[in-house]
Structure formats: structure tokens, C-alpha cells
């Protein structure tokens, strides 16, 4: 299966996906890393790993449609079958999601539907929850709202800071995302309404 990973920053999840694939957790060709930020560390990771990267800045286009159309062109060129959003800081348009319906995954650093948005870890700390976690989900037209594939809880200790909690969350992410990709590739995810049934 040909995968594209979309990033905007560090790309530690991108790295975890590459590592899991290399270890043989799933059979895939990580063909492309799409990035909207030329300074992102994920670009360096792609270079080091010999993965083609496609960096594209929104400001170079007059509309979001044109920006996405150029990305779609690249995805088609590479015959991408699965898109994994990994710290990609843009919301995909409904048109984009429709084109790749059921073939876009995202990872979020909280137990959705709690703490949607870009500050899931800080928001959980600020709210004072005792448990937060990680969610891998299918992407739909709305932000952080698609059907949940996997979730795992992470305890928030009284001594936790945003940084220490982020560290715990990231280590769960790096295990959970590859596992969700494995299930997708194996055809084990069955969508029933907005529920995801995991087949044995
Ligand atoms: C992760 O916490 C992920 O859940 C969120 O953005 C962060 C990306 O981190 N969507 P990285 O770039 O993969 O290190």
C-alpha cells in the first residue's frame, strides 16, 4: 500500500511510522511526505530516510482550493492509497476529504471528543483532568471529529507539566499510530456509521 504522510513540524510520528514499516509491522511503501512548512524537521527526516518530500506553502497560492489541487496532483502522481496526517496543521477541505474518503487517518493528543484543536495537551493540563490520552481516527469534513479507530488513556499526575505529559503522550502515539495503520492495511477496520469495528 502506498502511503503519504502529511506533516508541519517535528515529524516524530512520521519517524515512528517509518520505523514500524522497516521493522515489518505492516507492508507499505511510504512514498511521500507532504509538508506545508519548509523549515519543518520532518523535511530533514524524509531526506535522511530517502523518502520523497513535497513541500508546499499555502501562501504561494491564491486560494485553498488551488493549494489542495496541487497536493492532490502530487498524490495522484504517486498513486497514494492512504494518507496519514501526523502533526499537519491545516484542515483539509470537504472536497479533499471526499476524494480520499475513508483513506485519511489522523492522530490527536487527547481522548476525542475531548480537547479538540491544536492544543490538546495544554488544554488537558489546564482543565485539570486526571486522564487524557491519544486518539487515532478517520478524518471527516470537521476538525478532529471523524470515527475513532484506536484510543489509549494516559494518566495525568499532579506533578505533570505540559512538557512531561507531552513526552508520555508522544510515546503512546508512536505505538498507536503504526498499529492503526497495520489494521487499516490488513483490512481489519470496518466502518459502520461512525463506529469503527475492528475485525479479528
Ligand atoms: C502529535 O502530538 C499529534 O498528536 C498532533 O501533532 C503532534 C505531532 O507531533 N496531531 P510530531 O510532528 O509527529 O512529532
The predicted-structure confidence for 53-64, as pLDDT tens digits, reads as follows: 999 999 999 999
List alpha helices for the chain, DSSP H.
Answer: 12-22, 41-49, 64-77, 94-99, 120-127, 162-185
Nearest-atom number in ligand 1 for the CA of 14 is 13
Instruction: For residue 190, report the distance from its CA to the centre of ligand 1, in Å.
Output: 25
Instruction: For residue 58, report the distance from its CA to the centre of ligand 1, in Å.
Output: 20
> Taking residues 19-43, what's their average pLDDT?
98
pLDDT digits (tens, 9 = 90+) for 161-174: 999 999 999 999 99
16 in Cβ contact with 23 (< 8 Å): no
User: Is the alpha carbon torsion for 136, 31, 52, 142 positive or negative?
Assistant: negative
Nearest-atom number in ligand 1 for the CA of 11 is 12
The pLDDT value given to residue 104: 98
* Domains of the chain, each with CATH number or no CATH: 2-198 (3.40.50.170)
The pLDDT value given to residue 15: 98
Query: Strands 52-55, 29-35: parallel, antiparallel or unpaired by DSSP?
Result: parallel
Measured torsion, CA atoms of residues 53, 58, 62, 66, in degrees rounded to the nearest 10: 40
Q: Is 170 a catalytic residue?
A: no
User: From atom 5 of ligand 1, which residue's Cα is the shortest distance away?
Assistant: 87
Cα separation, 85 vs 157, in Å, equals 29
List alpha helices for 100-161, DSSP H.
Answer: 120-127
Contacts of 174 (CB under 8 A, 6+ apart): 12, 13, 15, 16
pLDDT digits (tens, 9 = 90+) for 92-142: 999 999 999 999 999 999 999 999 999 999 999 999 999 999 999 999 999
Q: How confident is the model at residue 12 (pLDDT cuts 50, 70, 90)?
A: very high
Q: How many angstroms separate the first and last alpha carbons of the chain?
A: 21
Nearest-atom number in ligand 1 for the CA of 40 is 12
pTM of the model: 0.97
Instruction: Please state, rounded to an integer, the average pLDDT across all residues of the chain.
Output: 98
Q: How confident is the model at residue 69 (pLDDT cuts 50, 70, 90)?
A: very high
Total length of the chain: 200
Q: Within 6 Å (CB) of ligand 1, which residues are found?
A: 7, 9-14, 86-87, 107-109, 173
> Taking residues 26-38, what's their average pLDDT?
98
Amino acid at each position: 500500500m502506498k502511503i503519504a504522510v502529511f506533516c508541519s513540524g517535528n515529524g516524530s510520528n512520521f519517524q515512528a511510522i517509518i520505523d514500524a514499516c522497516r521493522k515489518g509491522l505492516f507492508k507499505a511503501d511510504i512514498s511521500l511526505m507532504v509538508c506545508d512548512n519548509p523549515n519543518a524537521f520532518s523535511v530533514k527526516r524524509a531526506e535522511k530516510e530517502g523518502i520523497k518530500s513535497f513541500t508546499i506553502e499555502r501562501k504561494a497560492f491564491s486560494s485553498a482550493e488551488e493549494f489542495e489541487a496541487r497536493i492532490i496532483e502530487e498524490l495522484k502522481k504517486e498513486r497514494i492509497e492512504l494518507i496519514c496526517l501526523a502533526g499537519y496543521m491545516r484542515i483539509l477541505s470537504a472536497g479533499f476529504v471526499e476524494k480520499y474518503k475513508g483513506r485519511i487517518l489522523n492522530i490527536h493528543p487527547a481522548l476525542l471528543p475531548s480537547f479538540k484543536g491544536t492544543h490538546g495537551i495544554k488544554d488537558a493540563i489546564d482543565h485539570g483532568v486526571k486522564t487524557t490520552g491519544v486518539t487515532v481516527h478517520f478524518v471527516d469534513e470537521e476538525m478532529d471529529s471523524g470515527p475513532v479507530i484506536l484510543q489509549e488513556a494516559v494518566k495525568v499526575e499532579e506533578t505533570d507539566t505540559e512538557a512531561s505529559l507531552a513526552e508520555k503522550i508522544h510515546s503512546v502515539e508512536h505505538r498507536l499510530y503504526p498499529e492503526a495503520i497495520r489494521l487499516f492495511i490488513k483490512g481489519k477496520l470496518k466502518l459502520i456509521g461512525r463506529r469503527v469495528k475492528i475485525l479479528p
